[in-house]
Amino acid sequence: MPFDEPSLVPRPTPRVSDDRPPAERLIDIRTRIDKAATLARRKRGDLTLIAVSKTHPATAIEPLLAAGQRDFGENRVQEAEAKWPALRDAYPGTRLHLIGQLQSNKARDAVRLADAIHVVDRPSLVTALARAMEQEDRQPDCFIQVNIGDELQKGGCAIAELPALLTEARAADLPVAGLMCLPPAGLEAAPYFALLAKLARDHGVAGLSMGMSDDYETAVTLGATHVRVGSALFGHRA
pLDDT tens digit sequence for 192-202: 999 999 999 99
Residue 42 lies inside a defined structural domain of this protein: yes
Residue 125 lies inside a defined structural domain of this protein: yes
What CATH number does residue 56 fall under? 3.20.20.10
For the segment 80-107, what is each residue's pLDDT rounded down to a tens digit?
A: 999 999 999 999 999 999 999 999 999 9
For the segment 60-73, what is each residue's pLDDT rounded down to a tens digit?
A: 999 999 999 999 99
User: Which pLDDT value is given to residue 5?
Assistant: 40
Residue 69 lies inside a defined structural domain of this protein: yes
- CB-based burial of residue 198 (10 Å sphere; 0-12 exposed, 13-18 middle, 19+ buried)? middle
Residue 7 lies inside a defined structural domain of this protein: no
User: Which pLDDT value is given to residue 18?
Assistant: 62
Domain ranges, residue 207: 35-233
The number of domains in the chain is: 1
Mean local confidence (pLDDT), 167-188: 97
Q: How confident is the model at residue 11 (pLDDT cuts 50, 70, 90)?
A: very low
Residue 11 lies inside a defined structural domain of this protein: no
For the segment 13-45, what is each residue's pLDDT rounded down to a tens digit?
A: 444 446 788 889 999 999 999 999 999 999 888
Residue 213 lies inside a defined structural domain of this protein: yes
Residue 4 lies inside a defined structural domain of this protein: no
- Residue 227 near residue 219 (C-beta atoms within 8 A): yes
User: Which pLDDT value is given to residue 19?
Assistant: 77
For the segment 206-219, what is each residue's pLDDT rounded down to a tens digit?
A: 999 999 999 999 99
Q: In whole numbers, what is the pLDDT of the chain averaged over residues?
A: 92
Nearest to 213 by CA among 195, 177, 237, 179: 237
Residue 71 lies inside a defined structural domain of this protein: yes
